[in-house]
Amino acid sequence: MKTPAALKMVSYLFLGCGVLIACGDDSPPAHTSSISPTLSQIRDSYELITVHRPTSIEDYVNLLSVPYKMCRALARAKNLPVKPFPVIPENFVMTRTTIISDGKSFRTTEEGFGVDIDGVTPENGCETKFGGGSNTWVAHNGFEYVLDDQTQSQAESERAKYEAKPYDPQSASGYSISKKINNIAVKCTDESDLMVAGKIVAEMCVLDPKLGRIAMSDGKPPIVYSRDLPGKSVFGSPMILEPVSLKVGIKVSPTIFVNASAK
């Protein structure tokens, strides 16, 4: 599922990109009445949470602190007071993505975290703040659109169309290595994979199909884990995408796909 072009981005410096993902369970769970008869036979409801993070928080902080250190040097030259650089949490992640699906509709919330370095000057004490923001979008009733208090009643003519395809477990056949990541079973690439052999990524994994019939609107078990090649990167250190929480066969209220505040 693609993020709509109208998706508003927050001003914080996240230095990362989200990857939409999903996962499943060991046995076919019961389906809620909100799932269409056709799709309910081939898809499971679920909630998945993944995070995107640097492998080294220290390297990431060093990268972000460069503008601050330059500003601090100028402030000291002018005998101006300087505010401290914000403390970065030890469990820092750049993005946290939550996907909830009833088997036919999808609600994705992406939270981004980082250090706001906009407008850092000696005159304002080189002030920087740690913070974040979030965006939510849905794929529902054949349309994709941003979901918030202002756009949840957006006209259908302004929404992107989409078509949910049947779950295709064969799309995971190219992932041959079984393992668990944060106690979630996945199937991962081996050295013969084109992305790995081409040195684009070190490894990629999708959900193990035995977990359930979990997919996004394209019908494919999405990528739930990826790891950059070793070495320095524009993020300070290699990045990792990983699943951290999974619930399958959950009851999903249909209101979450039309109401921004619904849970």
In tens, the pLDDT along 70-110 reads: 999 999 999 999 999 998 888 899 999 999 999 889 999 99
pLDDT value at 22 more than 80: no
Q: In what order do the strands lie in the sheet with 177-181?
A: 160-161, 143-146, 129-140, 106-116, 95-101, 46-54, 239-248, 223-227, 203-207, 184-188, 177-181
Question: Which phi and psi (to 5°) does residue 156 adopt?
Answer: -60, -30
Q: Decide if pLDDT at 24 tops 90.
A: no
Amino acid found at 58: E
Q: Minimum mean pLDDT among 27-36, 64-73, 167-176: which range?
A: 27-36
Query: pLDDT grade, residue 39 (50/70/90)?
Result: very low
Q: Which of 203, 211, 207 is nearest to 220 (CA)?
A: 207
Residue 239, burial from CB neighbour count under 10 angstroms (0-12, 13-18, 19+): buried
Q: Which two tokens stand for residue 162?
A: 């989409």
DSSP H or E run through 139: strand 129-140
Q: Give the separation between CA 164 and CA 166, rounded to whole angstroms.
A: 7
Q: Is 24 left (phi over 0), alpha (psi -120 to 50) or beta?
A: beta
CA atoms within 13 A on the CB side of 186: 24
More confidently predicted of 220 and 186: 186
Backbone angles phi, psi at 26, to 5 degrees: -70, -30
Average pLDDT over the chain, rounded to an integer: 80
Which long-range CB contacts under 8 A does 259-263 form with residues at least 24 apart? 259/152, 260/136, 260/147, 260/148, 260/149, 260/152, 261/149
Query: In this predicted structure, which of 28-42, 86-100, 203-217 has the lowest mean pLDDT?
Result: 28-42
The 10s digit of each residue's pLDDT in 229-253 is 987 777 778 999 999 999 999 999 9
Sign, Cα dihedral of 39, 44, 45, 46 = negative
